[in-house]
Amino acid sequence: MLKAVEKCSVCKGPIVQKYMPMKSWNVDGILCSACYSKKLGEYYPGEHVRVNTDKE
């Protein structure tokens, strides 16, 4: 049986890595990495440094 591809709640694109939105973002469902990063930038301006770079 084929596994259904999950879609991002914001852009409706396919999700490779799931991200859960913060409650204050008022987003229902899961986000793709691009939309999660965009939301982080909106709510927490400034430079964001990734700490799990070994998983890329």
Measured distance CA(16)–CA(6) in Å, rounded: 8
Q: Which residue has the tokens 């204050």?
A: 24
Confidence of residue 2 (pLDDT cuts 50, 70, 90): low
pLDDT by residue (tens digit) across 21-53?
Answer: 999 999 999 999 999 989 988 888 777 676 665
The pTM of this model reads 0.71
Which residues contact residue 10 at a Cβ distance below 8 angstroms, ignoring those fewer than 6 apart? 27, 31, 32, 35, 38, 39
* Every domain of the chain and the residues it spans: 1-45
pLDDT for 40 equals: 87
